[in-house]
Amino acid sequence: MQLDDLYRQVIMDHYQHPRNQGSIGGETLSIDLKNPTCGDEITLQMKIEDGLVTDVRFTGTGCSISLASASMMTEAIKGKPVAEAMEISEEFRRMMKGEEFDADRLGDLESLAGVCRFPARIKCATLAWHALERGADKKS
Amino acid sequence: MDRAMIRRDFPILDQKVNGKPLVYLDSAATSQKPRQVIDAVSKYYQEDNSNVHRGVHTLGSRATDAYERAREKVAAFIHAPSERQIVFTRGTTESLNMIAHGYARKRLREGDEIVITPMEHHSNLIPWQQVAQATGATLKYVPLQSDGTVSLADVEATITQNTKIVSMTHVSNVLGAVNPIREVAAIAHRHGAIMVVDGAQSVPHMAVDVRDLDCDFLAFSGHKMMGPTGIGVLYGKREVLEQMEPSHFGGEMIDTVELFQSTWKEAPWKFEGGTPIIAGAVGLAVAIDYLNEIGMDTIHRLDAQLTSYAMERLGAIADLTIYGPSGERGALVTFNVSGVHPHDVSTVLDSEGVAIRAGHHCAQPLMRWLDVAATARASFYIYNTEDDIDVLARALETTKEFFSHAIR
């Protein structure tokens, strides 16, 4: 087990300098999600206009993996059609299961590939994505 | 008693994890089992397995004897006046739920009070929330001191003539605080309330005498005291066990069954509906033999020595916060490394072969009181050594170093 496989530089960068952290003002789609087994929390807010994710922000508490995953997710889906965001989410899930995935589609998120070798940490990485999927369900 | 000798009784400890010798520091979650217990459970299944209290055949008698002898052993271990005051359950959680639903729910009314503390494990908190919601009784909390202990003055101020139940953990699974149960029980009784004790973290580590504590109920788990998972204990005074109603109905627990009504056996059997956890009870009895052989006072001393060594070693690490009292404490140290989430701490420690617990430890209200999302916890038992603590301390330094580099 190599720690460097898990804690890649780009993950640490997102952990230290989370992108799109904060709240979108006014009435907006907002999802609160907790990982009850460990206490991690995330609030994900999205602005969806004409089927596009025009803004997305998050706040929360959690470990490096969960916060970095949330930060990278917001970068990956911002400005994209909701349908494409869901496809990225599917791709991410495949990566977490250790299945074949399309690296081009995931960009920076590929740095989280090592997480699938740390079974106890998969839930950390997927928390933000559960929030995203719940948000998309709410909207549709 | 030599720790190295004790350690040899635990086959699971002799392995490598991630290429490093395993250092198991999660005994507050579940203890490891000595060879004697593992062998006894295996022997029971190989030689005596049968259902209890039913068959007339020889195996049936052997299984019944073994099961009932285990009850006697548990009674003697906690100094219960009679083995009839020992109910076998699945564990502390089930024991506490049985009290809440079988005893409290039927008896409490609006205006009555249940008194607990913010340091309770969810299993000694949610059942009481449920009772309060169902009966209209009020749930009250004894406030904590800044070091996470309770003061008797606060206990005195919280308990009133309307208090019917006081339920408190003997030793906190997060703070390590040891609560003055005997004194709290005396205050409870003076106000006409009963005293319920969560002994999950105390019974494995110290001599517990229910007559000395004068508690009305005591709940604890076998798996934290070297026994198998799935077996636990509910001790109760005779009168409260008589008043308590069964929660599970079916085979084993009945006296007479008619078409539209039935009557129960006496306690403890009326609480043990269905085929009980026979092999678990057999294993628990052998675990008690094992603990008795070393002696609970010796165990308490060994655990206390190791805990103070850990407090000293971890206390010397910069940027590490330790939670809970600095004086007397249970065999655990809960902490956070500044700037590193407990999950990340735990993953780095695991890569060094060190197993600790990270998270909210089933104590979310306490996490809020501490104003943290989660913590890391190292917990000890007599098979741990000072070397284990040294490995932990070094691994924590590695964690700090790793994250300071990774973050740069």
DSSP structure string for B71-134? HHHHHHHTT-S-GGGEEEESSHHHHHHHIIIIIIHHH--TT-EEEE-TT--GGGTHHHHHHHHH
Mutate to test the interface with A, among B126, B336, B347, B370 (most CBs of A within 10 A): B347
Task: Identify the pLDDT of residue B400.
Answer: 93
Could you tell me if A118 lies within 8 Å of chain B, comparing CB atoms?
Answer: yes
With CA atoms as reference, report the closest residue to B92 among B249, B240, B221. Answer: B221
Could you tell me if B360 lies within 8 Å of chain A, comparing CB atoms?
Answer: yes
Whether the Cβ atoms of residue B288 and residue B77 lie closer than 8 Å to each other: yes
In whole angstroms, give the CA distance from residue B3 to residue B81: 33
pLDDT tens-digit profile of B328-338? 999 999 999 99
Domain residue ranges in chain B: 3-31+295-401, 37-293
- Note which residues in 217-246 of chain B have CB less than 8 A from chain A: none
**Number of other CB atoms surrounding residue B84 within 10 Å:** 16
A63:B343 CB<8 A:
yes
B341:A64 CB<8 A:
yes
Q: Which residues of B touch A37 (CB under 8 A)?
A: 359
Q: Is B158 helix (H, G, I), strand (E, B) or coil?
A: helix
Number of domains in chain A: 1
Summary mean pLDDT of chain A: 91
- Chain B residue at shortest CA distance from A7: B406
Task: Identify the pLDDT of residue B407.
Answer: 55
Task: Identify the pLDDT of residue B406.
Answer: 60
Q: CATH assignment of B3-31+295-401?
A: 3.90.1150.10
A118:B347 CB<8 A:
yes
Q: Catalytic: which of B17, B362, B367, B372? A: B362
Residue with tokens 């005396």: B186
B364:A12 CB<8 A:
no
Task: Identify the pLDDT of residue A120.
Answer: 86
Whether the Cβ atoms of residue B253 and residue B268 lie closer than 8 Å to each other: no
DSSP one-letter code for B142: P
Describe the crossing of helices B296-315 and B386-407 by its angle, rounded to 10 degrees: 30
A39:B360 CB<8 A:
yes
As given in the structure block, the two tokens for residue B303 are 């655990």
In whole angstroms, give the CA distance from residue B348 to residue B398: 8
In whole angstroms, give the CA distance from residue B123 to residue B127: 7
CATH architecture of B37-293: 3-Layer(aba) Sandwich (3.40)
User: Residue A31: what are its φ and ψ, rounded to 5°?
Assistant: -125, 125
Per residue, the 3-state secondary structure of A9-27, as one string, reads HHHHHHHHCCCCECCCCCC
Collect all residues with Cβ–Cβ distance below 8 Å to B385 and sequence separation of at least 6: B3, B4, B7, B306
Q: Which residues of B touch A42 (CB under 8 A)?
A: none
List per-residue pLDDT tens for chain B, 408 residues long. Answer: 689 899 999 999 999 999 999 999 999 999 999 999 999 999 999 999 999 987 789 999 999 999 999 999 999 999 999 999 999 999 999 999 999 999 999 999 999 999 999 999 999 999 999 999 999 999 999 999 999 999 999 999 999 999 999 999 999 999 999 999 999 999 999 999 999 999 999 999 999 999 999 999 999 999 999 999 999 999 999 999 999 999 999 888 989 999 999 999 999 999 999 999 999 999 999 999 999 999 999 999 999 999 999 999 999 999 999 999 998 999 999 999 998 999 999 999 999 999 999 988 889 999 999 999 899 999 999 999 999 999 999 999 999 998 887 654
Based on C-alpha coordinates, what's the Rg of chain B?
A: 22
Shortest Cα–Cα distance, A131 to chain B (Å): 19
DSSP one-letter code for B374: -
CA distances to A77, A83, B207, B237, B304 from B210, rounded to whole Å, are 60, 63, 10, 9, 22
| Residue type present at position B377 | R
**Range of A84's domain?**
3-139
Question: What's the sign of the alpha-carbon dihedral B58, B59, B60, B64?
Answer: positive
Q: Which residues of B touch A7 (CB under 8 A)?
A: 344, 402, 406
Q: How close are the terminal C-alpha atoms of chain A, in Å?
A: 42
Task: Identify the pLDDT of residue A140.
Answer: 63
pTM for the structure as a whole: 0.93
Query: Could you tell me the pLDDT band of residue A26, with boundaries at 50, 70 and 90?
Result: confident
Could you tell me if A63 lies within 8 Å of chain B, comparing CB atoms?
Answer: yes
Based on C-alpha coordinates, what's the Rg of chain A?
A: 14
ipTM of this predicted structure = 0.84
| Residue type present at position A33 | L
Task: Identify the pLDDT of residue B91.
Answer: 98
Q: Is B398 helix (H, G, I), strand (E, B) or coil?
A: helix
Residue scoring higher pLDDT (B387 or A5): B387
Counted residue by residue, chain B has a size of: 408
Average pLDDT over residues A125-136: 94
User: Residue B46: what are its φ and ψ, rounded to 5°?
Assistant: -80, -25
In whole angstroms, give the CA distance from residue B128 to residue B114: 7
Could you tell me if B370 lies within 8 Å of chain A, comparing CB atoms?
Answer: no
Domains B3-31+295-401 and B37-293 share a fold: no
Catalytic (active site) residue B362: yes
In whole angstroms, give the CA distance from residue A1 to residue A16: 24
For residue A52, the cross-strand partners are A49, A81
CATH code (residue A27): 3.90.1010.10
Residue scoring higher pLDDT (A27 or B25): B25
As given in the structure block, the two tokens for residue B162 are 């309307």
- Note which residues in 301-340 of chain B have CB less than 8 A from chain A: none
Longest dimension (CA), chain B: 75
Shortest Cα–Cα distance, A73 to chain B (Å): 20
